[in-house]
Amino acid sequence: MSEDNVLLKVVKLRKWFEMRKGLFGEVMYLKAVDGVTFDLNEGEAISLVGESGSGKTTLGKTILRLREPTDGKIIFKGKDITHLPNDKLFWYRREASLIQQDPFGALPAHFTISKIIEEPLIIHKMGDKEERRERVYKALEEVRLTPVEDFASKYPHMLSGGQMQRVAIARALVLRPSLVIADEPVSMLDASVRIEILTLLRELQDRLKISFIYITHDLATTRYFSEWIFIMYAGHIVERGITKEILRNPLHPYTKALLSAIPDPDPENRKKFRDVPPGEPPSLINPPPGCRFAPRCPFAMDKCKEEPPEIEVSPKHFVKCWLYA
Ligand SMILES: Nc1ncnc2c1ncn2[C@@H]1O[C@H](COP(=O)(O)OP(=O)(O)OP(=O)(O)O)[C@@H](O)[C@H]1O
Ligand code: SF4
Ligand SMILES: [Mg+2]
pLDDT in tens, 161-213: 999 999 999 999 999 999 999 999 999 999 889 989 999 999 999 999 999 99
Query: Mean of the pLDDT values across residues 275-297?
Result: 82
Report residues near ion ligand 3: CB below 5 Å. Answer: 57
* CB 46, CB 180: distance < 8 Å: no
Ligand 2 centroid to residue 193 C-alpha, Å: 38
pLDDT of residue 274: 47
pLDDT of residue 272: 47
**Nearest one of 218, 266, 222 to 241, comparing CA atoms:** 222
Which segment of 53-57, 257-261, 271-275 scores lowest on mean pLDDT? 271-275
The pTM score is 0.94
pLDDT of residue 264: 59
Per-residue pLDDT band at 222 (split at 50, 70, 90)? confident
pLDDT of residue 65: 98
pLDDT of residue 263: 62
Ligand nearest to the CA of 182: 3
* 113: region left, alpha or beta (phi > 0 left; psi from -120 to 50 alpha): alpha
Atom of ligand 2 nearest to the CA of 238: 5
Evaluate: CB of 126 within 6 angstroms of ligand 2: no
Ligand nearest to the CA of 307: 2
Evaluate: CB of 311 within 6 angstroms of ligand 2: no
pLDDT of residue 301: 96
Ligand nearest to the CA of 67: 1
How far is the CA of 10 from the CAs of 74, 174, 268, in angstroms?
Answer: 5, 25, 36
- Mean pLDDT, all residues of the chain: 91
Query: Mean of the pLDDT values across residues 132-137?
Result: 97
Q: Pocket around ligand 1: residues whose beta carbon is below 6 Å from it?
A: 17, 30, 32, 50, 52-58, 217, 284
22: pLDDT strictly greater than 80: no
For residue 90, the SS3 value is: helix
- N-term to C-term CA, the chain: 22
88: pLDDT strictly greater than 80: yes
Query: Mean of the pLDDT values across residues 5-10?
Result: 97
Nearest Cα residue to atom 30 of ligand 1: 53
Atom of ligand 2 nearest to the CA of 294: 3
215: pLDDT strictly greater than 60: yes
Ligand 1 centroid to residue 187 C-alpha, Å: 17
Which segment of 32-36, 104-108, 244-248 scores lowest on mean pLDDT? 104-108
Ligand 3 centroid to residue 52 C-alpha, Å: 7
The span from the CA of 199 to the CA of 67, in Å, is 29
3: pLDDT strictly greater than 80: no
What pairing do the DSSP bridges indicate for beta strands 228-233 and 236-242? Answer: antiparallel
Query: Mean of the pLDDT values across residues 299-307?
Result: 96
Please report the domains of the chain, with CATH numbers, ordered by start residue.
Answer: 6-287 (3.40.50.300)
Nearest Cα residue to atom 5 of ligand 2: 321
In tens, the pLDDT along 157-168 reads 999 999 999 999
The span from the CA of 110 to the CA of 265, in Å, is 48
Evaluate: CB of 298 within 6 angstroms of ligand 2: no
Ligand nearest to the CA of 235: 1
Nearest Cα residue to atom 1 of ligand 1: 17
In tens, the pLDDT along 32-72 reads 999 999 999 999 999 999 999 999 999 999 999 999 999 99
Distance between alpha carbon 290 and the CA centroid of its chain, in Å?
Answer: 25
What string of DSSP letters covers 145-197? --SHHHHHT--GGGS-HHHHHHHHHHHHHTT--SEEEEESTTTTS-HHHHHHH
Q: Kindly give the interhelix angle for 191-207 and 161-173, rounded to the nearest 10 degrees.
A: 20
Ligand 1 centroid to residue 51 C-alpha, Å: 11
